[in-house]
Structure 1
Amino acid sequence: MSGFEETICEAIRSMRLLVVEYGGAERLVQPYVYGDDHAGDRLLSAYQVAGASASGVSAGWKFFRMDKVTAVTLSDRHFHSPRPEFQRNDGAFARIVCQVGD
C-alpha cells in the first residue's frame, strides 16, 4: 500500500475525517470508498464538509482523483454514522480497496 492508501483506509475503517490537499487547496472530507474506477483511475469517494471547491460548492459528495491529490492527513475528528444516502459497493468503482462498513 502507498502511504496515502494506508492513511485513507485507516480513516475509512475508523470513520475519521481526512484533510485532503487537492487542486492546491485543502478540503475536509468524510471518506467512504477508495478504489479504481472503470477507466483504471484511483478514486476516493467522500463527503466534503469544509474547504475549497473548484465548483464553488464546498459541501457535498465528491470524487477525488488520487493522481491530483498532493497530501492526505488523518484528522482527530470522527463522523459517527454513514450518511443515509451512502451506497455500499458503488457502481462507479470497478475495484474497491476499502469502504465504510468493511
Structure 2
Amino acid sequence: MELTIKTAIENRQLLSFEYKKKNRLVEPYTFGENSSGKDTLSAFQIEDGGDGSADMCWRQFPVREIKNLKLLDTKFEELREGYHPDNAKMSFIYWTV
C-alpha cells in the first residue's frame, strides 16, 4: 500500500479507495506519520460517494483504515489552494508532492 501511495504522490495520480464504508476519490499530497504515530495520507478529497460539492475538502486518512486502494491513470496538475506540507499535521513526512 505504501508503494502505491508513494507512486501516486510522485506522479500526481488520483487514488480511489474505501474508507468508512464509502468510496473515496482523492488527490494525494502528503504521506507521513501523524502526532499519534499512525501512518496517514493527507489528500484533497474530490468525491466520497455522497452529495457532490460538500465532498470536496482536505482530509486525513489513517492508512490502516483504507481498503481496496487503487492507483488511477488520471493525473492532477494544479496544486490545490491551501496545500503546504506543514499543514498536513504530520510529525514526520515520508513523501509529499
Q: Is TM-score (shorter-chain normalized) higher than 0.5?
A: yes
Structure 2 unaligned blocks of 5 or more: none
Matched, 1:67 2:51: no
Instruction: Please list the CA deviations of residues 67-90 of structure 1 after superposition, one character each: whole Å capped at 9, or x if unmatched.
Output: 211121001111002113101244
1:27 to 3, 24, 29: 24
Q: Distance in 2 between matches of 1:37 and 1:69?
A: 16
Match of 1:16 in 2: 13
Q: What amino acid is aligned across from residue 44 of structure 1 in structure 2? A: L
SS in 1 for 2:79: coil
1:19-51 CA distance string (max 9 Å, x none)? 021112211000000010111011100001112
2:45 is the counterpart of 1:58:
no
Unaligned residue ranges in structure 1 (runs of 5+): none
Percentage identity across aligned positions?
30
Higher helix share: 2
- TM-aligned CA distance change 1:64 to 1:91, over 3 Å: closer
1:40 pairs with 2:37: yes
> RMSD in angstroms over aligned alpha carbons?
1.7
**How many residues align structurally?**
95
Taking structure 2 as the reference length, the TM-score comes to 0.88
**Offset at residue 59 of structure 1 (A):** 1.2
CA contact (8 A) 1:89 1:96 kept: no
Length-normalised TM-score, structure 1:
0.84
